[in-house]
A and B are shown apart, each in its own frame.
Chain A
């Protein structure tokens, strides 16, 4: 109880120094699964998993200041990206189950997520459902005590190595838009599921398409009530404090510093100072948001930080190619700057395009009237 923030930080730093893996995370396939699970397990055994989760579910329920200290140390130690194969489980499916799951669902799944035993993936987007999530069509028909699922999902990260999927279905055939959806736990080895990995412009197969052909899922896997899936899907919004992204943001600041140290081009020096200032601003915004979120509900300001990060990440990635050139070893190597640069193009698309984010911010934060999309 009486541990000070400084002591907490020192303990985090010592543990990270001793435990951060020395080799970089594999980009895809079973190796990336094993790596992510091993790292999650290690954090669990060290007492560092579930930092943001409530104690009632085995979490550490760390204060926001502790979370900030942890993720700062995490970035400083060059620990594996928090957006790895365990991310959906620890930061999305887990919190959704905490908010809306039954006791059985919680007691079965939460420990497995926390201990690094399972990978979760998301099944929200569809080929014709990108920015407009409420238009989704993959259907689940109730038959006895089961749902029979037919349809297709896409852009499902790590679906090829996942054990479970948080699957959003249209379970009321007469419903439209946000109504009549259900949030369902889908076991990925259920008969009728086909997963086809999709290679990205950055190289590895980070995403997958998932096809459902008469996939039978027990009704007991519905989370938050049948036809109540939109509310379930939105329940994690209140959970998000933005601290999980803090490690990524600080890593971005570190990359800017590396570029400043390496740059010899006077013409780029000013650009780099803008990037330095913006990385500092991003951190200031995240701290403000995190501290505010601890004392009361926060609005859509989080989308502003998310968007600011996405566009800054792209500018930093572009600057790194300008500084080193396309033929430099650190650009061409595996996990190199070339990969980062290409991968950054997804930042303003995944999880809601920058354009949709701007609409949301304009309407919800600034109060501008809705218009046609």
Chain B
């Protein structure tokens, strides 16, 4: 049991999901059908993913936010729909309504995600969802999809998923304030962004090893090496921040909220840096639609938006008391 970081056992447990993830969510699926994941809620529920951090008596798997964070990092790697995050969060805030929570955990009710903005809400990949979880600075509120008004499709192509607008709905069927659910939201978004940063690093390094120019792999050129190293440092920072934050939350450390807010700032920047560099390292191929590279960049933007933006993440970090100079362990 490490007091700072996820244990090897926790990593192994989540890595056991890599096979089903590979089969169910190959990134290439998104070239053909950006909304492919909507049909996967029951299969994901079968694997226990929506209740991974909920106690068994609540219908969950009984693990902690540490395993949950690692799982969502894997989701980030596979560009799994942010609806899965909405389902996991919705199951948490619906705990008071056992029947509703059970339907979410069982994948009987699919969940879509939205972010509150000045004019209403922006829905992301939520076209087929039965429930919509609206994230905001105040926390999270769960609504039935049919309760939404002024719903309008904005775009289906540009960001790799359907974006819709709707009026800000009233009377949620369940809700939770940011003081309770805020850290969970930020942790799961940071996790997915960390997964994106890691996947694009591997993609870039893999390509740099096989793509030849001037008779040698481009990865032997210092310019490419240094890009890759910078990407690796971003991944290391994001991964270790995420792990530390999750363990802090699970262990109830006093500075847990600081760690999560910090992990989110680090993860957003890591995801933007790495998805951009990955396109650059892939050259002309990286700019083409058939390459996966742009899908990662676009998803990073969607997740950043769901988190309230990098500006919002920095503001959230500013609101936390300093960890330095206090007891750290």
Q: Do A and B come from one complex?
A: yes
* Set of chain A residues within 8 Å of B263, measured between Cβ atoms: 277, 281
Q: Is the CB of B209 within 8 A of A368?
A: yes
Q: Is the CB of A362 within 8 A of B225?
A: yes
- The answer, yes or no, to whether B226 is at the interface (CB within 8 Å) is yes
Tell me, rounded to whole Å, the shortest Cβ–Cβ distance linking B38 to chain A: 34
Given A276-B262, A291-B2, A304-B232, is A69 in contact with B222 using a C-beta cutoff of 8 Å? Answer: no
Tell me, rounded to whole Å, the shortest Cβ–Cβ distance linking B313 to chain A: 8
Which of B216, B217, B315, B324 is A253 in contact with, Cβ under 8 Å? B324
Given A68-B329, A257-B322, A273-B265, is A291 in contact with B232 using a C-beta cutoff of 8 Å? Answer: no
* Set of chain A residues within 8 Å of B259, measured between Cβ atoms: 280, 284
Tell me, rounded to whole Å, the shortest Cβ–Cβ distance linking B133 to chain A: 26
Contact indicator per residue, chain B 228-261, by CB within 8 Å of chain A (1) or not (0): 1110110011101101100000000000001101
Tell me, rounded to whole Å, the shortest Cβ–Cβ distance linking B131 to chain A: 33
Contact size class for B?
35 or more
Q: Is the interface of A mostly helix, strand, loop or mixed?
A: helix
Which of B311, B324, B329 is A257 in contact with, Cβ under 8 Å? B324
Distance, CA A283 to CA B4, complexed state (A): 10
Q: Is the CB of B317 within 8 A of A369?
A: no
- The answer, yes or no, to whether B306 is at the interface (CB within 8 Å) is no
Given A65-B3, A288-B243, is A256 in contact with B217 using a C-beta cutoff of 8 Å? Answer: no
Q: Is the CB of A76 within 8 A of B325?
A: yes
- The answer, yes or no, to whether B205 is at the interface (CB within 8 Å) is yes
Distance, CA A361 to CA B269, complexed state (A): 21
- The answer, yes or no, to whether A307 is at the interface (CB within 8 Å) is yes
Which of A260, A284, A304, A369 is B4 in contact with, Cβ under 8 Å? A284
Contact indicator per residue, chain A 99-141, by CB within 8 Å of chain B (1) or not (0): 0000000000000000000000000000000000000000000
Residues 5-53 of B at the A interface (beta carbon under 8 Å): 5
- The answer, yes or no, to whether A359 is at the interface (CB within 8 Å) is yes
Contact indicator per residue, chain A 48-85, by CB within 8 Å of chain B (1) or not (0): 00000000000000000100110010001000000000
Which residue on A lies nearest to B231, using beta carbons? A366
- The answer, yes or no, to whether A301 is at the interface (CB within 8 Å) is yes
Contact indicator per residue, chain A 348-370, by CB within 8 Å of chain B (1) or not (0): 00000001011101110111111
Which residue on A lies nearest to B328, using beta carbons? A72
Distance, CA A277 to CA B244, complexed state (A): 13
Q: Is the CB of A288 within 8 A of B4?
A: yes
Tell me, rounded to whole Å, the shortest Cβ–Cβ distance linking B257 to chain A: 12
Contact indicator per residue, chain B 81-118, by CB within 8 Å of chain A (1) or not (0): 00000000000000000000000000000000000000
Q: Is the CB of A279 within 8 A of B4?
A: no
Question: Interface on A for B, CB 8 Å cutoff?
Answer: 5, 9, 65, 68-69, 72, 76, 250, 253-254, 256-257, 260, 269-270, 273-274, 276-285, 287-288, 291, 301, 304-305, 307-308, 355, 357-359, 361-363, 365-373
A-B contact pairs, 21 of them (CB 8 A): A9-B329, A72-B329, A273-B315, A274-B269, A276-B317, A277-B241, A281-B240, A284-B5, A284-B240, A284-B241, A284-B243, A284-B244, A288-B243, A291-B2, A304-B229, A304-B236, A357-B229, A358-B226, A367-B209, A368-B228, A371-B221
